[in-house]
Amino acid sequence: DQQVKQNSPSLSVQEGRISILNCDYTNSMFDYFLWYKKYPAEGPTFLISISSIKDKNEDGRFTVFLNKSAKHLSLHIVPSQPGDSAVYFCAASLWSGTYKYIFGTGTRLKVLA
Amino acid sequence: DAMVIQNPRYQVTQFGKPVTLSCSQTLNHNVMYWYQQKSSQAPKLLFHYYDKDFNNEADTPDNFQSRRPNTSFCFLDIRSPGLGDAAMYLCATSRERASPTDTQYFGPGTRLTVL
């Protein structure tokens, strides 16, 4: 039972344009959402997060939007740069004696120069 | 640079032959996690240590064990690897476990092949 879903395995975007990566979840008990970025041969690195009580969080070129009623979040990258090409994982945090992350399967973003 | 290191990066083992994967950290974090990521799937938490306190996920097979001899090191032992255990194994750390804002720091992973 996949509680966090990233339905687009890959996405290609032209440099300078907006990249929008989507994530859907099923568990309304998730209290925090995170995006991680992963380059080949490296571990995932934290990118940006959002609390479930907010609907938007912005950090430079990266903005995460949360729509709780739709159980949907998205990551916007504006403008996209070739260095943004990576796999992006959506994760949701759930308290179960400790805060655990439930990950999505990832979306591979390719930014074309 | 403070970091999470995993050795080896690639490990080949034979069906049924025990194997140990290693993780070390220079972050001095209290929590260390092991994830399994199979091809095209999401990373899945196997277990974590909070200091010396071991916490197993309910659906982690008994074939998987872990040891944390000190703050810096954590090992993943697979007692009798099957073909289905071939995967990327990711180690992660976090400073504490009681805050969702305590983000996890990941190592580069060890890719395990079972022949």
Q: Which residue of B has its CA nearest to A34?
A: B103
Which tokens hold the place of B92?
């992660």
A96 — pLDDT class (breaks 50, 70, 90): confident
Quick: pLDDT tens for B86-105. 999 999 999 987 677 778 99
> Which residues 28-87 in chain B show a CB within 8 A of chain A?
31, 40-45, 48, 50, 55
* Alpha-carbon gap, residue B34 to B77, rounded angstroms: 11
A11 — pLDDT class (breaks 50, 70, 90): very high
Mean pLDDT for all residues in chain A: 94
Give phi and psi for B91, each to the nearest 5: -105, 140
Contact A72, A22 (CB under 8 A): yes
Which of B14, B20, B80 is CA-nearest to residue B6? B20
Neighbours of A12 (CB within 10 A): 11
B27: left (phi over 0), alpha (psi -120 to 50) or beta: alpha
pLDDT at residue B2 greater than cutoff 70: no
pLDDT at residue B1 greater than cutoff 70: no
A3 — pLDDT class (breaks 50, 70, 90): very high
State mean pLDDT over B31-53: 94
Cβ contact B92–A49 (<8 Å):
no
At A100 the pLDDT is 87
pLDDT at residue A97 greater than cutoff 80: no
| Gap from A44 CA to chain B (nearest CA, Å) | 6
Task: Give yes or no for B107 touching A (CB within 8 A).
Answer: yes
pLDDT, greater one: B40 or A82? A82
| Gap from A90 CA to chain B (nearest CA, Å) | 10
State mean pLDDT over B54-74: 94
At B101 the pLDDT is 76
